[in-house]
Amino acid sequence: MPSGIGSDRMAEGAFPFAIRQRVRFAETDLQGVVYYANYLVYAEVGRIAYLRHLGIDYQDLVRRELDFTIGEATVRYHSALRFDDEFDIRVRVGALRRVSWTFEYTVERADGLRCADMSTVQVILSRPAFKAARIPEDLLETLRAAS
């Protein structure tokens, strides 16, 4: 990994939320480490858990004819996680925009080793057309208060 990657983009600062997981056999690959795409699965686990923690329920959004999709995702890999490792997925709100917002994540092995940083851009959609829509005011308030 080229040195210096990441530190500029992922501003230092606290992550207000974490969820602990354990690496599954299914998530490893022949190099003996977690397969690179699975960090986006970990981001999803962190994202959904953090939204629930904030009182935002995905099913409730759907009932309001809203949905969200991911517009962009990035992963920076620092150290490998291995089978059976326990790790924390930390999440925080990044930039808030009119129809989208960013979540930033870091994955740390239980002993504190930093394994990866991720970011995802969520885009709010209105159903059933699945067109980009303004973030509803209550969700925006919740995200703003959390950021």
Give bridge partners of residue 108 from the DSSP assignment.
88, 114
Quick check: 41 binds a second copy (CB under 8 A)? yes
The only residue of 56, 66, 70, 96 in contact with a second copy, by rule CB under 8 A? 70
Quick check: 72 binds a second copy (CB under 8 A)? yes
Quick check: 45 binds a second copy (CB under 8 A)? yes
Cα distance between residue 3 and residue 18, in whole Å: 26
> Binding string to a second copy for residues 83 to 122, with x set by CB under 8 A, is what?
xx---------xx-x-xx-x----------------x-x-
One-letter amino acid at 70 equals I
Cα distance between residue 63 and residue 127, in whole Å: 10
Cα 46 off chain centre by: 5
Cα 51 off chain centre by: 10
User: Nearer to a second copy by C-beta: 37 or 110?
Assistant: 37
Cα distance between residue 38 and residue 41, in whole Å: 5
Q: Give the Å distances, CA to CA, from 62 to 100, 110, 127, 131.
A: 17, 35, 8, 14
Total binding residues for a second copy by CB under 8 A?
49
The only residue of 5, 64, 114, 134 in contact with a second copy, by rule CB under 8 A? 5
Quick check: 75 binds a second copy (CB under 8 A)? yes
> Which residue ranges make up the site for a second copy (CB under 8 A)?
1-2, 5-6, 9, 24-26, 28-33, 35-38, 40-41, 44-45, 48, 58-59, 67, 69-77, 80, 82-84, 94-95, 97, 99-100, 102, 119, 121, 123, 132
